[in-house]
């Protein structure tokens, strides 16, 4: 039997991210090619260097979807071997479990995640049985999967755990672990939980299921609370947390990988508030400057744009356009984007520009303005913004204005 590095990490108090952009992200109407999935998995592993498999599970896909999806999962398992722990996801059916195991078999740190319903309503829809019967069937599936290949770790995702009976969930979390499950994923499948509900669910299930059970979270963002709920799960003791690049996942998505990882890594004192005093989240600290590049890579692949309001990796990070923030940029930012992420600061011209801002941007284009020219340029910037209805004045338009100003001054001198 192979070592379960994810389970070992969680039991040691380290944080493990379960990456869902390739799998759950597909339910956000996106499709990553097999080549890109393998590349993304390798890039994510490099965030943690040699400890990639300990800190990153990459859900490569859902092999039962079609032949192409099976082959994509297999390619990721082979090509990202050793960079991350690769997982195949499947329904709670014997045939699907066999297929998932086959898609990752023979590769290092391979995993399958079996999705089974935890609530009565979801059990009736998914299996036409009671929740207890569905969970009992899952125990058998875990044993069968381990019997197929005991080098493949088996995880169980309890769908709709947010609306399930916590006592029943805890009892079967223990039973599934005893049967050989590595982690038990508590899913807020419809994104309905408030942070207090998440804390209560995790606390009760942890207390009643026993110390051997490793809980994970998979919390959707339908109410805009995916990040807050994930932080509550971490505070309550969960150490394996699902996330997705740019937050893509079914419907309104889930917590964004770049946001969660940065939040847990950029300030040790902040991580201590979340994880508890003295907590050591990492075997190898994450290489945060890799985050913007990976985010851009994902954005280009799936066609989901990075915007000015996207935290951590968006177009607005490190930009300054107004007076006091321009003079005291560190005072108006929660972190230094250049120091932590390698994002160089940039000054953007908008209708709020001061003469200081205009002068700096002009210098960037090789023009040195006196006071009168700076005031004239500022008036031009503001007028153009309101005339076009666009706050940002493009650099090329301003450069053309400056060239004209320079030509006029030169002509006057001649």
Give the pLDDT confidence of 357-396 residue by residue, as tens digits. 888 888 888 899 999 998 999 999 999 999 999 989 998 8
Q: Domain residues for 295? A: 5-302
User: Could you report the per-residue pLDDT of 290-299, keeping only the tens digit for each?
Assistant: 999 999 999 9
What does the pLDDT read at residue 344?
A: 83
Residues 181 and 324 in one domain: no
Residues 271 and 379 in one domain: no
Checking if the pLDDT of 414 tops 80, the result is no
User: Which residues on neighbouring strands pair with residue 91, listed in sequence order?
Assistant: 115
307 lies in some domain: no
Share of the chain above pLDDT 90, in %: 74
Distance of alpha carbon 298 from alpha carbon 292, whole angstroms? 10
Checking if the pLDDT of 302 tops 90, the result is yes
What does the pLDDT read at residue 329?
A: 67
User: Which residues on neighbouring strands pair with residue 404, listed in sequence order?
Assistant: none
C-beta separation of 365 from 398 below 8 A: yes
Residue 193: which CATH number?
3.20.20.70
Residues 270 and 336 in one domain: no
Torsion sign across C-alpha atoms 54, 56, 60, 62: positive
- Among 253, 273, 302, the domain-final residue is 302
C-beta separation of 206 from 213 below 8 A: yes
Residues 293 and 383 in one domain: no
Query: From residue 7, how far is each of 20, 177, 215, 244, 262 by CA, in Å?
Result: 18, 11, 9, 20, 22
C-beta separation of 115 from 99 below 8 A: no
Residues 181 and 278 in one domain: yes
User: Could you report the per-residue pLDDT of 340-359, keeping only the tens digit for each?
Assistant: 888 888 888 899 888 888 88
Backbone angles phi, psi at 20, to 5 degrees: -115, 10
288 lies in some domain: yes
CA-based diameter of the chain, in Å? 92
Residues 410 and 296 in one domain: no
Query: From residue 8, how far is each of 21, 44, 92, 201, 395 by CA, in Å?
Result: 24, 20, 25, 23, 52
Residues 279 and 326 in one domain: no
Residues 36 and 139 in one domain: yes
238 lies in some domain: yes
Residues 191 and 240 in one domain: yes
Here the tokens at position 39 are 């590349």
73 lies in some domain: yes
- Among 267, 302, 337, the domain-final residue is 302
Distance of alpha carbon 193 from alpha carbon 296, whole angstroms? 30
Here the tokens at position 43 are 């890039």
310 lies in some domain: no
What does the pLDDT read at residue 309?
A: 85
- Among 232, 267, 302, the domain-final residue is 302
**SS3 of 192, please?**
coil
Residues 168 and 266 in one domain: yes
Residues 196 and 105 in one domain: yes
Q: How confident is the model at residue 332 (pLDDT cuts 50, 70, 90)?
A: confident
Contacts of 380 (CB under 8 A, 6+ apart): 401
User: Could you report the per-residue pLDDT of 122-176, keeping only the tens digit for each?
Assistant: 999 999 999 999 999 999 999 999 999 999 999 999 999 999 999 999 999 999 9
**SS3 of 59, please?**
strand
Q: How confident is the model at residue 181 (pLDDT cuts 50, 70, 90)?
A: very high
313 lies in some domain: no
164 lies in some domain: yes
How many separate domains does the chain show? 2
Residues 210 and 254 in one domain: yes
308 lies in some domain: no
Contacts of 328 (CB under 8 A, 6+ apart): none
Distance of alpha carbon 337 from alpha carbon 327, whole angstroms? 16
What does the pLDDT read at residue 412?
A: 46
Pairing of β 153-159 and β 111-117: parallel
> CA angle, corner 406, sides to 403 and 408, nearest 5?
110
Q: What is the mean pLDDT of residues 107-117?
A: 97
C-beta separation of 36 from 141 below 8 A: no
Burial zone of 344 (CB within 10 Å; 0-12 exposed, 13-18 middle, 19+ buried): exposed
What does the pLDDT read at residue 413?
A: 42
Give the HSE-up count for residue 163: Cα atoms under 13 Å, Cβ half-sphere.
13
């Amino acid at each position: 039997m192979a070592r379960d590095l994810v389970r070992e990490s969680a039991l040691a108090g380290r944080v493990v991210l379960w990456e869902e952009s390739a799998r759950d992200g597909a339910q956000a109407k996106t499709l990553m090619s097999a080549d890109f999935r393998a590349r993304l998995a390798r890039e994510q592993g490099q965030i943690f260097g040699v400890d990639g498999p300990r800190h990153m599970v990459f859900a490569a896909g859902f092999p039962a979807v079609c032949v192409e999806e099976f082959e994509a999962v297999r390619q990721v398992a082979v090509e990202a071997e050793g960079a991350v722990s690769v997982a195949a996801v499947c329904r709670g059916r014997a045939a699907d479990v066999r297929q998932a195991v086959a898609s990752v078999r023979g590769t290092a740190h391979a995993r399958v995640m079996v999705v089974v319903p935890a609530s009565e309503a979801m059990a009736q829809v998914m299996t036409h049985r009671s929740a207890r019967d569905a969970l009992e069937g899952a125990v058998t599936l875990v044993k069968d999967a381990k019997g197929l290949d005991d080098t493949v770790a088996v995880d169980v995702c309890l769908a709709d755990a947010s609306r399930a009976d916590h006592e029943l969930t805890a009892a079967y979390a223990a039973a599934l672990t005893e049967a050989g499950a590595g982690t038990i994923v508590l899913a807020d499948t419809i994104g309905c939980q408030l942070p207090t509900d998440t804390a209560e669910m995790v606390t009760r299930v942890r207390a009643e299921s026993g110390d051997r059970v490793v809980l994970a979270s998979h919390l959707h963002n339908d109410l805009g609370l995916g990040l807050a709920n994930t932080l509550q799960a971490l505070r309550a003791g969960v150490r394996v947390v699902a996330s997705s690049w740019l937050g893509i996942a079914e419907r309104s998505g889930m917590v964004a990988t770049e946001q969660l990882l940065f939040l847990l890594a950029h300030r040790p004192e902040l991580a201590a508030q979340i994880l508890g005093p003295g907590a050591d989240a990492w075997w190898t600290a994450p290489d945060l400057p890799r985050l913007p590049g990976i985010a851009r890579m994902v954005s280009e692949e799936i066609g989901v744009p990075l915007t000015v309001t996207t935290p951590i990796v968006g177009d607005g990070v490190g930009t300054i356009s107004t007076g006091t923030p321009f003079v005291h940029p560190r005072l108006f930012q929660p972190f230094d984007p250049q120091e932590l992420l390698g994002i160089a600061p940039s000054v953007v011209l908008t209708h709020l520009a001061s003469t200081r801002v205009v002068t700096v941007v002009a210098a960037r284009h090789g023009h040195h303005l006196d006071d009168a020219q700076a005031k004239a340029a500022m008036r031009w910037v503001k007028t153009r913004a309101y005339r076009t209805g666009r706050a940002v004045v493009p650099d090329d338009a301003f450069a053309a204005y400056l060239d004209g100003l320079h030509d006029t001054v030169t002509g006057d001198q001649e």
